[in-house]
Structure 1
């Protein structure tokens, strides 16, 4: 017991009292206290930001949102297919079965190269200041459309609370239109 403690009372140690929790992450106040109105998987959208797979992006100052669909490319598949046809034809001309088999394998690889390309769907935002920025990438087009609708809703809600006359615009761009 310490000399300052009254007789019969337990000694107060700094470890016995719990410290109150910090108001936010790392002792700071939280940046965005509004609850997300879209939350699916690892993507959440609120009126001020989108958090996609752990990466936050601000929606403040955004003029427009654009969906970009990247289609599968044929260039590598066609090159491999032509090589397979050439090797197979050469093998047939000189009656070499391993060359014919190699030609067939190259044709199959060509098909697989085209068939299993990862299609990417990207959301870009155009800000009032600065260049266009990519805020979201996914392989599922339906999910990307739901995220796009949520971002448009967030931007419309921002414009409504700010009293702005012009709402942000959204566009759809296909990769084949480049």
Structure 2
């Protein structure tokens, strides 16, 4: 487990799982949201984004969280481990609402750039509500040919057990460098 990709519906807890797994394993953490969004919630051009993902996936080791279906092919080709958080719509929607209301107007440090405060907009929430009907089958089809180790969890409890087991099997993690230090990500 050197290149771990964590996918799933928004609100499933990809960033939290990635952060915890990074702490357990000592692998560098890459939040795709931090690299995707520009201040003011501006999207990059498609070609620019694919190049960014190519550069990120070229690193020797990582834990990468995020959806971004347009680059899933690149990430799957580079990963050796896939963690798919296949949680219910209720779990994801309730987590999105809780996150939005508890952090409204604040930027999640380390996950988004300054200028991208927490918000809840209808198109995003509608995507969460319809993910299982509109996007899940497409994502599962894309994941089908993945040749690495696959871990699919349907409940937060299943994920929690996996993280606990991984933590008990993992060697002590090396010190994490603060952001901006040489070698940090």
TM-score tier by shorter-chain length is: under 0.3
After TM superposition, the score normalised by the length of structure 2 is: 0.21
- What is the TM-score with the length of structure 1 in the denominator? 0.22
More strand by share: 1
**Structure 1 or 2: more helix by fraction:** 2
